[in-house]
Each structure stands twice: as C-alpha cells, then as structure tokens.
C-alpha cells in the first residue's frame, strides 16, 4: 500500500463511494469537500478530513479530483488554497470529472509546469458501481505514471480501460460514451411514454425491452426507477445536460454533424429548463409523459 494517503477532493455521490472503496481495500484516505455533511459522512467511515485542498494535498502523493466541472477543477487545483501549489514535485493529480479534451489537456500542462503528473480518468457507472469497484475508468496518461499508481486505480475499478497515453483521449472517450448514454436514455423515456400512451403496462413493457433488442443499461436502470416514482438524484439531470453539450462542441470542432446527439442534448436542456435539473435523469420519463398530443 502507498506510504501516503490517497486524497479525494470532491466527495459527492461518486467521490465518496470511491473513497470508501479504497478505504475498504486497505488504503488510507484523506478528503476535502465544500459540504460539511459529506465530510462528516467520510470522517465517520474512517477518512481523514482536511480544511482545504492545499491542506489535503500536502499529505498525499496521489490526489483524486472528483468535482463536477472545469470551473470547480480550476478552483480546487489553482485557486486560493488550491492543491497544486501544495503538492510535492513528482506527485500526481487524477482527474475524474467529465471535461472537454482541451480543458483536460490545459490542466495537465499547468500541472506539468509545476512538476506534477496527471492521470486522466473519467468514470462511468454511478455511485453503486463506484462503491463495489465495478464502474469503468477511461485512463489516459504516460505508461510510467500509470504503473506508479496502478494499485489504487485497479482497486477503484475492475474495468480500467487504457485508452492511450495522450491526455485528452480519456475525455474524448467519455464524451462519446455519454453522448450515446444520453441518446439511449432519451429514447428509452420516449418509448416508455409511448407505451403508456397506447395503454400498455409500463413495468411489463420495460421487462420485455430489458430482455429484447431495445435494451440498454441506462434505459433499464433509469426507467425502472422512474416507473416507481423514484427520482431521488443518483445522477442529476444537469450532468448529462453538461456532458451532451461538451460532446456536441467536440463534434462541431471535428466537423461532424451529430444528428441524434443534438436531439439528445436538446432533450436534456429542455428537462433542465422544465425544472428537472436537480432530479435524477430518470426524470426524462416525466418530461416525455407531458409532451402534448399531435393535433
């Protein structure tokens, strides 16, 4: 096991599950979050809580950033009391949020300028799979850096995909994945709303789909919760709204017209505008149910 604790900045639904996963595997874990309740939950589970990203980073050779977006990454790494200024040269930052490729590359370059390595490792699978180690990690970094931190990475995930050594390829892979996830989820919500509109039983129809050609993991997972009226947020609707926007921007930059992706992005944007942003993204069924009839 590493001589130093593994640091987590951001212990929301995913970050806390990951931190507890490493704790269960025998790693010492340090945490920092802006929410005192999240820090209290981590402390009750045996993690060491620090007052700032810098205070945490000084004790860690690997700091895992599990915040939401680029602005939060900027703040926790390079803002007041940011982690980068406190880390020892040769230490490493592992970036787990879904970011644009250019953002990830720029952050890695700034870390390199102060002597820090970077692992790009966007994640997929949700809190339950983060907790049991079955989530996916899409890892891009230098081979030597990966080998140095292989133990905690493989403890976090049984599905580690080495997508390359070029920083930015993790983001590209994750955005392609999330765009398809959004398309699948938007389609699943529409299909289930149609099933109900023509008088079918939603749960029975979903059971057929889950064992037939229309099945998708995200569709089955989210629609089962939506049909039960459970919209407690495991993955806020705002997250795929953000990610589809990043994916469409990447497609536009590449000169590719992502037709279905644009429809999915518009669907998630509409869901947020309708007040579903803070709900689980299973709330797309609610939006699809409310679609006015054809005239």
Q: For residue 203, what is the domain's CATH number?
A: 1.10.1040.10
Active-site residue, from 129, 174, 236, 242: 174
Do 146 and 276 lie in a common domain? Answer: no
Do 156 and 183 lie in a common domain? Answer: no
Do 132 and 190 lie in a common domain? Answer: no
186 is a domain residue: yes
Among candidate residues 135, 167, 199, the one where a domain is terminated: 167
Do 15 and 131 lie in a common domain? Answer: yes
Nearest residue to 67 (alpha-carbon basis) of 41, 97, 43: 97
pLDDT at 2: 60
Residue 242 among the catalytic residues:
no
Do 152 and 184 lie in a common domain? Answer: no
Range of the domain at 83: 6-167
pLDDT-above-90 percentage for the chain:
94
Residue 201: exposure state from Cβ atoms within 10 A (0-12, 13-18, ≥19): exposed
Confidence category of residue 106, pLDDT binned at 50, 70, 90: very high
Do 190 and 271 lie in a common domain? Answer: yes
295 is a domain residue: no
Do 162 and 195 lie in a common domain? Answer: no
C-alpha–C-alpha distance, residues 158 and 155, integer Å = 7
C-alpha–C-alpha distance, residues 144 and 117, integer Å = 10
Q: For residue 22, what is the domain's CATH number?
A: 3.40.50.720
Q: Domain count of the chain?
A: 2
Tokens for 153, please give them: 């990475």
Among candidate residues 167, 191, 226, the one where a domain is terminated: 167
Instruction: Please say if the pLDDT value at position 294 is more than 90.
Output: no
Do 249 and 154 lie in a common domain? Answer: no
Among candidate residues 141, 167, 193, the one where a domain is terminated: 167
Sorted by sequence, the CB contacts under 8 Å of residue 113 that are 6+ apart come out as none
Sorted by sequence, the CB contacts under 8 Å of residue 67 that are 6+ apart come out as 9, 10, 12, 15, 73, 76, 97
Do 163 and 187 lie in a common domain? Answer: no
pLDDT at 150: 96
C-alpha–C-alpha distance, residues 35 and 41, integer Å = 10
Q: What is the mean pLDDT of residues 204-230?
A: 97
Model confidence over 276-291: pLDDT tens digits? 999 999 999 999 999 9
Across the chain, what does the average pLDDT equal?
Answer: 95
Model confidence over 177-213: pLDDT tens digits? 999 999 999 999 999 999 999 999 999 999 999 999 9
3-state secondary structure of 62: strand
Do 43 and 127 lie in a common domain? Answer: yes
């Amino acid at each position: 096991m590493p001589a130093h604790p593994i640091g987590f900045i951001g212990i929301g639904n995913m970050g806390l599950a990951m931190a507890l996963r490493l704790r269960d595997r025998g790693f010492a874990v340090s945490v920092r979050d802006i929410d005192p309740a999240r820090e209290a939950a981590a402390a009750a589970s045996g993690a060491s809580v620090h007052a700032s990203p810098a205070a945490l980073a000084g004790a860690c050779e690997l700091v895992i950033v599990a915040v939401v977006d680029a602005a939060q990454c900027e703040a926790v790494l390079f803002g007041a009391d940011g982690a980068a200024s406190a880390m020892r040269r040769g230490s490493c930052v592992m970036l787990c949020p879904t970011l644009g490729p250019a953002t990830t590359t720029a952050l890695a370059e700034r870390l390199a300028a102060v002597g820090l390595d970077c692992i790009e490792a966007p994640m997929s699978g949700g809190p339950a799979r983060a907790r049991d180690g079955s989530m996916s990690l899409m890892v891009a970094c230098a081979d030597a850096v990966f080998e140095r931190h292989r133990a905690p990475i493989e403890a976090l995930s049984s599905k580690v995909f080495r997508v390359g050594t070029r920083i930015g390829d993790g983001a590209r892979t994750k955005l392609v994945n999330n765009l398809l996830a959004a398309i699948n989820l938007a389609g699943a919500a529409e299909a289930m709303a149609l099933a109900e509109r023509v008088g079918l039983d939603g749960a029975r129809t979903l059971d057929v789909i889950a064992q037939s050609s229309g099945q998708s993991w995200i569709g089955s997972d989210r629609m089962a919760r939506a049909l039960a009226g459970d919209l407690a947020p495991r993955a806020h609707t705002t997250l795929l709204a953000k990610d589809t926007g990043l994916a469409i921007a990447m497609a536009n930059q590449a000169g590719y017209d992502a037709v279905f992706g644009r429809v999915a992005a518009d669907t998630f944007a509409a869901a947020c505008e309708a007040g579903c942003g803070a709900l689980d993204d299973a709330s797309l069924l609610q939006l699809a149910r409310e679609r006015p009839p054809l005239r």
